[in-house]
Amino acid sequence: MKERLLKLPLASKVGVLRGLGPARAEALREAGIHTLRDLLFALPFRYVDRGSVLSLGSLDLAGFDGAGQGIVTVLGAVREVRQSTSRVQRMAITEVLLDDGTGTLRLVFFNQPYLGRSLRPGERMLAFGPLVHGRAGLELRSPQFELLGREAEASWVRRFLPLYRKLGALGGRVRQHLVEEALACAGEPPEWLPPELAKDLPPLLPALKALHAPADEDDPARLEARTTPAHGRLATEELFAFSLGVELRRAGRMARKGSVVPTSPELRERLKALLPFHLTGAQRRAFKEIVEDLTSGRVMHRLLQGDVGSGKTLVALLAMAMVSETGGQAALLAPTEVLARQHAANFERLLGGRAGALQCLLGPMKAVEKREALRRIASGEARYIVGTHALFQEAVQFAKLQLVIVDEQHRFGVKQREALKAKGLDPHWLVMSATPIPRSLALALFGDLDQSVLDELPPGRQPIASKLLAHGAAERAWELVGRELAAGRQAFVVSPAIDPTDETKVRLRDIQAMEALLRQRFPGVEMEVVHGRLKADDMAARMARFVAGDARLLLATTVIEVGVDVPGASVMVVDHAERFGLSQLHQLRGRVGRGTAKSCFLMLSDSESERLQVLVETQDGFRIAQRDLELRGPGEFFGTRQSGLPQFQAADLIRDAALLRRCREAAAEAVRAGLSEAQQDWLGQEGQRLRIAEVS
Ligand code: ADP
Ligand code: MG
């Protein structure tokens, strides 16, 4: 690559690169690549180690396994391209003859007629795929490939060849050229990392060079595992940038004025009167932290997390009462109607004589009811408000909203907050997480929230006997269910939700089959069936019948997983338990054992018994969550791509948990001490994109 004399900052737009037409620029833009830094931080998805590229002359099938088939990587020049059509199925066949000077090999592609038009003799191609015996000797069948340009530009004398994903109209090879050009013209930025983070790391540009054009003596295993010092530099940059954003947002929040909620001995007495039992030590600690926030004059932004059954709801009610008993309004946002109704019923009971101040607001309410609810909220008559996302619709006007609690649904908190901001409201904010979240993830996901943790269960809670049974032993589960039902208790049966396009479904028992089984096994027992395809009010009515005890058996998909409280239920059977995440199973298990009866949790499964065994061994939700996270990774852990988790190129939230902690500390210190000039420059260039100014 040609070195340019005048070096450009990494924040320069990619438009400065040569050979970037409108279509390619558009492809980059769509992939979120705007600057040289973006382009260079997007690493190759793979490196081909030329040490492992086989020369064509050396190929023979003898070295491969019994089926005579193995995956090989080859590199050569296209000598000939032939296009034909198979006689029987009228299928396009493209044959390419590859030549590397030591021998030749036929590559065969099916149904990709455009290849015949686009591949040109002289083009160098890197191909990997299964080597098989074809009609005319050895061939590579339907290989994956990369085009490396014309023979004249031999740049593949390097050992490691980086491969880039195609981005829309932008092929991997062109991308590599752009990267090379960017590396040649980018200047080393001033060091912006605090010395304690930077001390063992290579500078940024050499690190980027090492990752886009690895030196021949690099260790392929470390490159593949992304653990080279160069990766360390990028991961640290990413995590420090993220941390700095979090800390700056936090500092911004600290500077914001929040409504001061008054306390008094009299109020404390009133709150105490609401409590049906003594708070656990953890609940007391969490509540104290909340009170400190509410009386501090700052805006509270707190995550309340705790194991299933640790009593988050009671803490939430106390926080609401702080506000509502002193003339303000507090709203609890529940993820589903079932849960909103349950919270409302709970609060009604606890509030006793003051329940007149309680108001529920749900999506599908009758028009008259809704109008009255909105009126009560706007007039301030309603001070304890419980609802679903309907709470944040435009028509809702609050008299004096001081506190919002988001239950079980951290993912959507951000949007709701924006909706409120649009109304000019900046209430205190408490997020309750459904399941325990490992610390590293909590830091990444809720970085700018303060945390309160309920790490203690209310006294007298009996451990839930948990068992893993093969389907062959399912009869034991049904006997137990029968016994509990006969003793007047209730039972849950959970079936996995099965996507009809899932190819493995043939082997799974779906909810219909389970319903038939249960009806036959427990004739005359009142049963309700709930699943995600039901209309909201139908679902709520069915759940309500079970909660009220009118139905004794509930067959459900995971729609019941969060929060539902049915004290009469003492047993749960989960079919095909391997289809669930560990945290999800733990959350499901938390639906039983909420009353006084001894409870059981039975998982039916014929596979993954080692993973599921974790649930049998421990009831500690934090340990289960950590294991779940290690096994499935952060994206899966939250069950969705839109979980709000930050996306990193080189950093890995699990592997780099300790590094993230160091970055957080360093960023907090940097903000406290005042940013260095390099950090301020960096912020000027990158800050807007990180939405650092955004109020959280
Ligand atoms: P979660 O944290 O899973 O949301 P809940 O708030 O639903 O837990 O509480 C679980 C159960 O424990 C409820 O039945 C609740 O009434 C009860 N509970 C909560 N706090 C206490 C306490 N301090 N002492 C006894 N029982 C409690
Ligand atoms: Mg709860």
Tell whether 657 is covered by a domain.
no
> Residue 626 has which token pair?
């950590």
Q: Check if the beta carbon of residue 359 is closer than 8 Å to that of residue 371.
A: no
122 & 192 share domain: no
> Residue 26 has which token pair?
């558009």
CA–CA separation, 123 vs 147, rounded Å? 7
| Number of domains present in the structure of the chain | 4
Q: Output the pLDDT for position 694.
A: 46
Among 551, 583, 618, the domain boundary falls at 618
200 & 229 share domain: yes
- What single letter denotes the amino acid at residue 194? P
Under-70 pLDDT residues of the chain: 1-5, 61-69, 151-158, 408-414, 499-507, 559-563, 638-645, 689-696
Give the residue among 365, 420, 421, 1 at the shortest CA–CA distance from 182: 1
The DSSP letter of residue 68 is S
CA distance to 268, 377, 427, 486, per residue, from 262 (Å): 11, 21, 15, 52
Ligand 1 nearest-atom number relative to CA 308: 3
* Token pair 């039992």: residue: 277
Using DSSP bridges, classify how beta strands 123-134 and 137-141 pair: parallel, antiparallel or unpaired: antiparallel
Q: Is 392 exposed, middle or buried (0-12, 13-18, 19+ CB in 10 A)?
A: buried
Tell whether 58 is covered by a domain.
yes
594 lines ligand 1 (CB under 6 A): yes
For atom 1 of ligand 1, which residue has the closest CA? 309
Contacts of 378 (CB under 8 A, 6+ apart): 397, 398, 399
In what side-by-side order are the strands of the sheet with 428-432? 358-361, 384-387, 329-333, 401-407, 428-432, 301-306, 450-454
For atom 24 of ligand 1, which residue has the closest CA? 458
Ligand index nearest the alpha carbon of residue 587:
1
455 lines ligand 1 (CB under 6 A): no
The DSSP letter of residue 13 is B
| Structural domain boundaries enclosing 140 | 49-163
Q: How far is the CA of 81 from the centre of ligand 2 (A)?
A: 65
Q: Check if the beta carbon of residue 139 is closer than 8 Å to that of residue 104.
A: no
CA–CA separation, 78 vs 87, rounded Å? 26
Task: Pick from 279, 308, 313, 406 the residue to mutate for probing ligand 1's pocket: most ligand atoms within 8 Å of its CB.
Answer: 313
114 & 154 share domain: yes
357 & 397 share domain: yes
Ligand index nearest the alpha carbon of residue 315:
1
Q: How far is the CA of 304 from the centre of ligand 1 (A)?
A: 14
Q: How far is the CA of 531 from the centre of ligand 2 (A)?
A: 20
Q: Output the pLDDT for position 124.
A: 86
Tell how far CA 323 is from the center of its chain.
33
CA dihedral 121, 125, 131, 133 (to 10 degrees): 0
Q: CA angle, corner 247, sides to 38 and 295, nearest 5? A: 150
Q: Output the pLDDT for position 88.
A: 74
> Residue 208 has which token pair?
């980027």
Q: Output the pLDDT for position 162.
A: 86
Ligand index nearest the alpha carbon of residue 563:
2
CA–CA separation, 427 vs 408, rounded Å? 19
450 & 497 share domain: no
593 lines ligand 1 (CB under 6 A): no
519 & 602 share domain: yes
312 lines ligand 1 (CB under 6 A): yes
Q: How far is the CA of 461 from the centre of ligand 1 (A)?
A: 10
CATH code for the domain in which residue 317 is found? 3.40.50.300
> Residue 23 has which token pair?
């279509």
Tell whether 12 is covered by a domain.
no
Give the residue among 653, 651, 649, 648 at the shortest CA–CA distance from 638: 653
CA–CA separation, 106 vs 141, rounded Å? 9
Q: Check if the beta carbon of residue 69 is closer than 8 Å to that of residue 142.
A: no
Q: Is the dihedral of CA 406, 645, 622, 628 positive or negative?
A: positive
Q: How far is the CA of 280 from the centre of ligand 1 (A)?
A: 10
Helix (H) or strand (E) holding 302: strand 301-306
CB atoms within 10 A of CB 82: 11
599 lines ligand 1 (CB under 6 A): no
543 lines ligand 1 (CB under 6 A): no
Ligand 1 nearest-atom number relative to CA 314: 6
Q: Check if the beta carbon of residue 457 is closer than 8 Å to that of residue 520.
A: no
CA distance to 154, 319, 480, 496, per residue, from 556 (Å): 62, 33, 18, 8
293 & 440 share domain: yes
Tell whether 152 is covered by a domain.
yes
Q: Output the pLDDT for position 413.
A: 61
Tell whether 357 is covered by a domain.
yes
189 lines ligand 1 (CB under 6 A): no
Tell whether 229 is covered by a domain.
yes
Using DSSP bridges, classify how beta strands 137-141 and 104-110 pair: parallel, antiparallel or unpaired: parallel
283 lines ligand 1 (CB under 6 A): yes
DSSP string, 575-592: TTGGGS-HHHHHHHHTTS
Ligand 1 nearest-atom number relative to CA 565: 7
Ligand 1 nearest-atom number relative to CA 460: 25
Tell whether 172 is covered by a domain.
no
527 & 574 share domain: yes
Among 402, 424, 454, the domain boundary falls at 454
Q: 435-461: per-residue pLDDT in tens?
A: 788 877 777 777 778 889 998 888 877
Q: How far is the CA of 315 from the centre of ligand 1 (A)?
A: 9
Q: Output the pLDDT for position 156.
A: 52
275 & 384 share domain: yes
Q: How far is the CA of 384 from the centre of ligand 1 (A)?
A: 19
Q: What is the C-alpha radius of gyration for the chain, rounded to an integer number of angstroms?
A: 31
For atom 18 of ligand 1, which residue has the closest CA? 311
429 & 373 share domain: yes
Q: How far is the CA of 563 from the centre of ligand 2 (A)?
A: 4
CATH code for the domain in which residue 142 is found? 2.40.50.140
Q: How far is the CA of 668 from the centre of ligand 2 (A)?
A: 32
Q: 289-309: per-residue pLDDT in tens?
A: 999 999 999 999 999 998 888
Q: Output the pLDDT for position 146.
A: 78
Ligand index nearest the alpha carbon of residue 311:
1
Q: 123-161: per-residue pLDDT in tens?
A: 888 888 888 887 778 899 888 887 777 755 555 556 788
b/e string for 635-661 if b means 16 or more Cβ within 10 A? Answer: eebbeeeeebbbebbbbbbbebbebbe
Tell how far CA 21 is from the center of its chain.
35
374 & 406 share domain: yes
Tell whether 13 is covered by a domain.
no
Q: Is the dihedral of CA 336, 342, 347, 353 positive or negative?
A: positive
> Residue 272 has which token pair?
């105490």
Among 563, 593, 618, the domain boundary falls at 618
CB atoms within 10 A of CB 421: 11
CA–CA separation, 488 vs 519, rounded Å? 18
558 lines ligand 1 (CB under 6 A): no
Q: Output the pLDDT for position 69.
A: 52
Task: Pick from 314, 408, 565 the residue to mutate for probing ligand 1's pocket: most ligand atoms within 8 Å of its CB.
Answer: 314
> Residue 646 has which token pair?
């930050």
Q: How far is the CA of 542 from the centre of ligand 2 (A)?
A: 20
472 & 574 share domain: yes
306 lines ligand 1 (CB under 6 A): yes
